[in-house]
Amino acid sequence: MAAHTTRPALAKQAARKPARYTTARGTPSVTLIGFGNWGTALAFALFGAGIPIKEIVVRSISKTATAQRRKISRSLGAKFTTLDRAALDADVLWICTPDANIAQTAVKVAAKLESANKRRTARQVVFHSSGAFASGELMALKAVGAGIASVHPLMSFPGITHGEALDSRVNPALADFPLAGVPFALQGETQACRVARRLVKMLHGAAFTLQERDKVLYHAFGAFTSPLLLALLTAAAEAGAAAGLHKNEVRSLMEPIVAKTISNFFKSGPERSFSGPLARGDAGTVARHLLALHEHPALEAIYRQLSLYAVDTLPVDRRPTLRQMLRQPARNAASPQRSGASTA
């Protein structure tokens, strides 16, 4: 993760009179800088929303990826180019690089805009899409007169090949409005956020505002909702395999209960959705779980920590007994008498 960039040129920005934004009238044009999973999804979404893409800018052009990427760019009406050759004359420059590259990319883009010596009658806007970093990663661009904001989609974008992106049968998610309903966290300058909010609306997304101080915790929240949730499901599948279930059937066996649990959570809330031995205060069953998991230390650790969190935050019977037992070593936790049913 890159640190904020501080340059003497930043002092000059205070003397500049802010220009109006190009995006005040008409549909804004966009240049994408970075073309990974998120950049690809965003490109198709912009195209589906009728937002013109002037350029798709990458760091370098490899022989293996060039043909497919050029084909995608042509299908979207965009020029495929590298940063050193890019015009960077769109109303909005949207940086879609990994977090660690944002500040460095911003410095390079700012230098190119400055060297072009073009004084636009309207102010360009530059976004990055990091959930953890604030708009300050773009300070080098603010120093040359651009409006800056972070615009983060609260959504998972798993890896796809550019070949799949070209085939809607393989990747139907990249149809019109693939970002419909996706929440976007906005943070940055007021006018830049205004432009971002307008684009998000055109993408059929849902924009909300964050304070800079809350960005990192917000991103941790996002980690719980997708990658760590996936890690938990992977642990559950591993426990199923340890129980003798065939690895090819574990996910299909998990799907009904996982889907129902998630549906209940969103419909009824956590308290009314919570069930199982912890909710019943069935310390005997929990103790036997711990003994069975003792041969699988990573799974045991996950089970203990999640159970302790549940005991502290969700409605459970025999809370003190369960808390004490979960904090003991596994082989000392088998003393509670059998109680309650053994269903989930």
Residue-wise pLDDT tens digits, 198-207 = 999 999 999 9
Q: What is the pLDDT of residue 67?
A: 76
CATH code where residue 95 lies: 3.40.50.720
Backbone angles phi, psi at 280, to 5 degrees: -80, -10
Domain boundary among 212, 246, 265: 212
Overall domain count for the chain:
2
* pLDDT bucket at 163, cuts 50 / 70 / 90: low
Q: Would you say residue 238 lies in a domain?
A: yes
Higher-confidence residue: 75 or 234? 234
* pLDDT bucket at 65, cuts 50 / 70 / 90: low
Q: State whether 68 and 204 are in the same domain.
A: yes
Residue 95, SS3 per DSSP:
strand
CA–CA distance, 9 with 245 (Å, rounded to integer): 63
Place of tokens 């964050």: 210
Q: What is the pLDDT of residue 174?
A: 46
Query: Token pair of 85, please?
Result: 């050759």
Q: Would you say residue 279 lies in a domain?
A: yes
The per-residue b/e assignment along 242-261, b for 16 or more CB within 10 angstroms, e otherwise, is: eeeeeeeebeeeeeeeeeee
Q: State whether 97 and 132 are in the same domain.
A: yes
Q: State whether 241 and 267 are in the same domain.
A: yes
Higher-confidence residue: 144 or 343? 144
Q: Would you say residue 1 lies in a domain?
A: no
Q: What is the pLDDT of residue 157?
A: 87
Q: Which residue type, as a one-letter code, is found at position 40?
A: T
Q: Would you say residue 342 lies in a domain?
A: no
CA angle 243, 248, 250 (to 5 degrees): 45
Q: Would you say residue 219 lies in a domain?
A: no
125: enclosing H helix or E strand: strand 125-128
User: Does 9 have pLDDT greater than 70?
Assistant: no
State the residue range of the domain holding 283. Answer: 227-332
pLDDT in tens, 66-96: 677 888 898 899 999 999 999 999 999 999 9
Higher-confidence residue: 313 or 24? 313
